[in-house]
Amino acid sequence: MIEPISTYQNPILSAATEQAWPSYGFGDPFVMRHNGVYYLYCSTKDGSTGIKCWSSLDLVNWEYEGFCTGDPLTRGAYAPEVYYYNGYFYMYTSPAGNGHYVLRSTSPTKGFKVVTPNMGMTIDGSVFVDNDGKWYFYNAGGGAMQVYDMAKPTQMRNGRSLPSISVNGGWTEGGMVVYHDGYYYMTYTGNHVLSPSYRILYGVSNHSPLDFDRASDHNPLLISTEDTVFGIGHSSTVKGPDLDSYYIVYHSLVDTLPNRNMNIDRIWFNGDRMEILGPTTDPQQVPDLPDVYHRFEPSASLKGWSLQGSLGTGRNGLSLSADSMLYAKTPFEGNFTAEYNVTSIAEGGEAGALFAYTDPQNFGACYFSPYDQKVIIEITVSGQTTRTEVDTIRSFGEDTRFDCLQALQIERSGRDYTFYMNDRLLCVIRDSALTGGSIGYITKGAEASFGFIGGTQAVGGHGGANQFKTVSEQVSVIPATDAMEAFETVTLRGGRKSVEVKDGDTLTYRILAAQNGAYDLSVLCHGIPSDGMTMELLVDGKQVATGALSPTENGTATLILRNIELTEGQHLLSLKWNGSVSVERLCMLKAAAFEEISRDYESGRDGHRYSDGAWQIKDGALSMSSNTAFGKRLYGSPNMGDYTAEVKITPQSSPNCGLLVRATNPGSPNFLGTVATDADARAATDWVMGYFIGLSSDGVIIGKQSYSYREVARAKGSFLSDETYTLKVECQGATIRVFVNETLYITYTDPEPFMQGMVGVRTHDCTAIFDDLTVKRGDGSLS
C-alpha cells in the first residue's frame, strides 16, 4: 500500500493574497535561506514605497513579516535581493529602474537602511560569491547580461557584458548564479514581463562564473505560453528544506496586469544540464524536511539529543559550555548531507560541527578557529586522529567574524567527505575510514552558541527518490537517478549521470498522476547494445506495455510508449529491462484525446489555436502575402502524440515554408492585450518548441526549434515558386518521415525528441498559399 503524502499546489502565493501589492502581486520573487528559515522579498508596486518580507520554514507555508524597510528611496523598488555576510544582510534593489542602491540591516526582516549613493546600472542586481570568496554582481542589459567585480559589498567595478547570456540578442534580465557539484548555473529571463512568452533560460560553466555556455539545445528552461500558468519569469534558486534538493521560485502572470503569482518547482542538476520538474499547477508533494533537525528556539526540548558536558549561559540559540558536545540519538548509517550554524564563539575557543559520531573513539569534528582564521577538521577512527587545516573563506581581505553566524555544510558520499563554509567549497577528504554516525555540535576551550542544525540521509540530490513526481499535461521530467532502488551510475559527456541497468533489472519511480486518463512516456537511454533490447512497463506491479530500442550511430535513443492508462493519484511506475543500458531521464505527459483535423479554408474561420503574422483566408486557401512574410499558425492540442500531417503548399517567392509538428509553447514578443504585428512575427518565427519541416529552393529540411533554430536533417530537391506541392509528415515515436508528392525524402530519428505537440504552418521570409491541411492519427507504423 502506498502511503498518503502531503501536497501543495502552485501558485504558492497568489496575487490575491491579502498582504500582496494590490494589482501587482509577487513580481520578481527572491528567496534566501538563513539559519534554517526562508525569507521572501518581491518588487514594490510602482508608486508605492517600502519593501515587504515573508518567512517560511518549508517553502510552502509563508508568514507575512511586514515591511523590512520603509525608506523613501524604495519607491517602486524593483527586484530586491538580500545576501548575508559577516553579520549583516545586504539588500540590492533598483527603485523604479533608476539605478541601484544597497541597503543594510542586522536582521533579514526589519531595519534595512540605505548605505550607498545611487550606483547607476540597470535593474535586477544579483550577487554571487564564488568558492574563493570573490564577489560578483550581475544585472540586466540590452543585448546580454552584465557582470561587475565587487570591491566590497557596497562597491561594484569593471563592468562588462556576458555575450552568451542573452535572450535572442535583446533585453535580458533576472539573472542569478548558483554553484552545484562542480558547475556554475546562471538562470536569466526575457523578453518582456508582460508577454506570455516571458521565459526562463540558463547557461552553464564548469570553470568560471564569468564564461557560460548558453545551453541552447536545452533552453528555454521554463516556459508556458498558453496554459493557466503563463508569462513565467524572473526566478531565484534556493536549497530545499531537506538540504539536498534545490527549488526554483518564479512569478507568472494573471489577467490583471502586471499582477503576478509566485510558484516553486524542484530543480534537477545533472552535470551540464539543469531541468525543472515543472511548471506545475496540479498538486505535487511538499518539499521534504531533514531527517534529523533542531531549531534550538528558546526553551526548546532536547528530547532525541544526547548532551555530554553542559549547557552554556548564552541566549543566542543553543549555548554549550567549553568542551561539550550535543548530538542526535538518531545516526546516519550511510551517505548524508548536514548543515550547521555557529552563531558565536567565545574568545580563546573553537567550536563547530560534530559528524559521524558513534563513540569517543570514532567521530569527526569540524571546528572554526577564530584566532588563526582556520577551519580544522579532525577525524578519529579507533582512537587515532588525523587533522586537516584549511583557511576560512574570506572576502575583501577581511577576517571572518565569529560574534555572528557562520555556517558549515558537510556531505558524505561513499567514503568521501566534502566540507563547505557558507556554501563555499572548503575541501574534500577522500577514502575516509570513518563510517556512519550522528550529527551534532562540539566546543573546545570556550563556550559557543549555535543555531539550526539539520541532516538528510541523502547526497547529491538523491533525496528526490523519495518524492512523488507529478505528471500532467504540463510537467513531465522524472530524473532516472530518482529510482527507489540504488543503482550504479555512469558519467556521460558534460558530467551528466545516467543510471546503469543490467539484464533483468527494474527501475521503479513514484509518480503522482494529476488526472485520470492516458499518458505518454519517453525514456532517454545511452549505450544501447548492437542487437537492440526491450523494456516492459509496469504500473503498480502490473505490466501495461512493452517497447523496443534499436542501436543508433551515437548510442543514444529515446523509447516512447503511448496511451498508458492511469487513475488520478499515486502510482509506482516500473521499467523492467531485457538487456543492459544506461538511463538518463524519463518524461511523462498527459495525452490528448485525438481528434482528426481537416481544413479546406472555404470559410472565413479555420479554428486555429494560435497565430502570428499577416495570414489571410481568401479564395478557399490560407495565404501569407505580407511584405514581411514571417509567421506561424497552429491547430489541435499540444498533447497530441503520433500522427500524419499533410498540406498542399504553393510558394510564391523563394521557398522557405512548410509544416510545424510536435509544436508547443508558441509565442511572439507582443504584450498581453495587443495583436502581433508583422515585425513581431518576424522576430518570433523561431519562437516555438517543435519541428519545422520545410521546402527550400534546393531541398527538404527538418529544423528543430526551441526558441532557436537548428537544422537536423536535409535532403536535396528542387522546389519552385508558383508550383503546388503536397507535403506529408509522419510522426511516429522518435522518428519523422517526410514525403513530397508521395516521394520519401527524409527519415530522421531524434535521439532526444519532442514527444507531443500541435500541427501548424510556417513561413520564413516567404509568401505562400496553404490548402487542404489534414491531421490523422498515427497507426503505430511508418509508411
For residue 29, cis peptide bond before it (omega within 30 degrees of 0): no
699 backbone φψ class: left, alpha, beta (φ>0; ψ -120 to 50): left
CA distance 495 to 649: 45
Average pLDDT score over residue span 761-772: 95
Q: Which residues are 616's β-sheet partners?
A: 623
Specify the pLDDT at position 673. Answer: 65
The lowest-confidence range among 6-20, 202-216, 660-674, 696-710 is 660-674
Contacts 24+ apart (CB under 8 A), 723-728: 723/650, 723/651, 724/648, 724/649, 724/650, 725/648, 725/649, 725/650, 725/695, 726/646, 726/647, 726/648, 726/649, 727/646, 727/647, 727/648, 727/649, 727/658, 727/659, 727/693, 727/695, 728/644, 728/645, 728/646
Q: List the grid coordinates of 623.
A: 495565404
Query: What burial class does residue 357 get, using C-beta atoms within 10 Å of its C-beta: 0-12 exposed, 13-18 middle, 19+ buried?
Result: buried
Provide the pLDDT confidence category of residue 676 given band limits of 50, 70 and 90: low
pLDDT tier, 465 (very low <50, low <70, confident <90, very high otherwise) = confident
* Rounded CA separation 171/169 (Å): 7
Which SS3 state, helix, strand or coil, does residue 348 take?
coil
Burial tier of 401 (Cβ tally within 10 Å: 0-12, 13-18, 19+): middle
Instruction: Note the pTM of the prediction, 2 decimals.
Output: 0.96
In this model, does residue 677 exceed pLDDT 70? Answer: no
Residues 332-353 have pLDDT tens digits of: 999 999 999 999 999 999 999 9
Tell me what pLDDT residue 678 has.
64
Please tell me the least confidently modeled range out of 426-440, 505-519, 629-643, 672-686. Answer: 672-686
Residue 735, all three cell numbers? 522518428
Can you say whether residue 291 is alpha, beta or left, with left for phi > 0 and alpha for psi between -120 and 50 degrees? Answer: alpha
What are the tens digits of pLDDT across the range 173-200? 999 999 999 999 999 998 888 889 999 9
Instruction: Give the separation between CA 665 and CA 58, rounded to whole angstroms.
Output: 31
Alpha-carbon dihedral angle through residues 455, 456, 458, 459, given to the nearest 10 degrees: -40
The percentage of the chain sitting over the pLDDT mark of 70, rounded to a whole number, equals 98
Q: Under a CB-based contact definition with an 8 Å cutoff, are residues 473 and 590 in contact?
A: yes
Give the per-residue pLDDT at 299. 79
pLDDT of 679 over the 90 cut: no
Mean pLDDT throughout 104-126? Answer: 97
Check whether the bond before 191 is cis (ω within 30° of 0).
yes
Which of 242-246, 289-293, 621-625, 673-677 shows the lowest per-residue confidence on average (mean pLDDT)? 673-677
- Give the up-direction half-sphere exposure of residue 259: CA atoms within 13 A in the CB hemisphere: 14
Lowest mean pLDDT among 190-199, 230-239, 736-745: 190-199
pLDDT more than 90, % of the chain: 87
Cell numbers that stand for 696 in this block: 527550400
| φ/ψ (deg, to 5) at 72 | -55, -25
Coil, strand, or helix at residue 743? strand
Q: What is the 3-state secondary structure (H, E, C) of 262-279?
A: EEEEEEEEECCEEEECCC
Instruction: Output the pLDDT for position 318.
Output: 94
Query: In the prediction, which pLDDT does 216 show?
Result: 81
- Cβ atoms of residues 288 and 489 within 8 Å: no
Question: Shortest CA distance to 202 belongs to which of 213, 191, 192?
Answer: 213
Query: Which one, of 607, 566, 615, lies nearest residue 588 by Cα?
Result: 566
Whole-number Å distance between alpha carbons of 45 and 75: 8
For residue 440 the three cell numbers come to 551534532
Residue 316 pLDDT: 80
Q: Which of 503, 460, 462, 469 is nearest to 485 (CA)?
A: 462
Residue type, 465: A
569 sits in the region (left: phi over 0; alpha: psi -120 to 50; else beta) called left
Task: Return d(Cα 351, Cα 374) in angstroms, integer.
Answer: 11
Q: Which three cell numbers stand for residue 640?
A: 497530441
d(CA 774, CA 622) in angstroms, rounded, equals 13
Whether the predicted pLDDT of 670 surpasses 80: no
Helices (H), ranges, 303-391: none
Of 331, 354, 379, the closest CA to residue 440 belongs to: 354
- How far, in Å, CA of 214 to CA of 217, rounded? 9
Q: What is the pLDDT of residue 384?
A: 96
Geometric angle at alpha carbon 275, from 24 and 238, rounded to 5°: 55
Closest CA relative to residue 40, chosen from 65, 75, 71, 72: 65
The SS3 call for residue 781 is coil
Average pLDDT on 592-618 reads: 93
Segments in 307-450 forming alpha helices (H):
none
- Under DSSP, the state recorded for 140 is -
Contacts of 354 (CB under 8 A, 6+ apart): 325, 326, 327, 363, 364, 365, 438, 439, 440, 441, 442
- Give the C-alpha separation, 111 to 68, whole Å: 6
Q: Pairing relation of β-strands 469-471 and 506-513?
A: parallel
- In degrees, to the nearest 5, what angle opens at C-alpha 442 toward C-alphas 403 and 419? 80
pLDDT of residue 783: 45
Q: How far apart are CA 217 and CA 624, in angstroms?
A: 29
Range of weakest confidence among 2-6, 278-282, 292-296, 632-636? 2-6
pLDDT at residue number 168: 84
Residues whose CB falls within 8 Å of the CB of residue 539, separated by 6 or more in sequence, listed in order = 564, 566, 571, 572, 573, 574
Eight-state DSSP code of residue 676: P
DSSP 445: S
Looking at residue 714, its amino acid is: R
Question: How many Å apart are CA 369 and CA 352, to the nearest integer?
Answer: 9
The x, y and z cell numbers of residue 520, run together, are 505518454
> Which positions ≥6 away from 590 have C-beta within 8 Å?
471, 472, 473, 514, 515, 517, 518, 519, 639
- List the grid coordinates of 293: 533537525
d(CA 274, CA 261) in angstroms, rounded, equals: 23
CA of 513: how far to CAs of 1, 520, 567, 575, 585, in Å?
A: 16, 12, 7, 17, 18
742: number of Cβ within 10 Å = 8
Mean pLDDT in residue range 439-452:
97
Return d(Cα 429, Cα 303) in angstroms, integer.
32
**In the numeric block, which cell numbers belong to residue 404?**
555572528
Judged against a pLDDT cut of 80, whether residue 683 lies above it is answered with no
Which residues on adjacent β-strands are paired with residue 701?
Answer: 694, 714
**What mean pLDDT is reported for the chain?**
94
Q: What is the mean pLDDT of residues 155-173?
A: 93
Burial of 508 (0-12, 13-18, 19+ CB in 10 A): middle
pLDDT above 80 for 518: yes
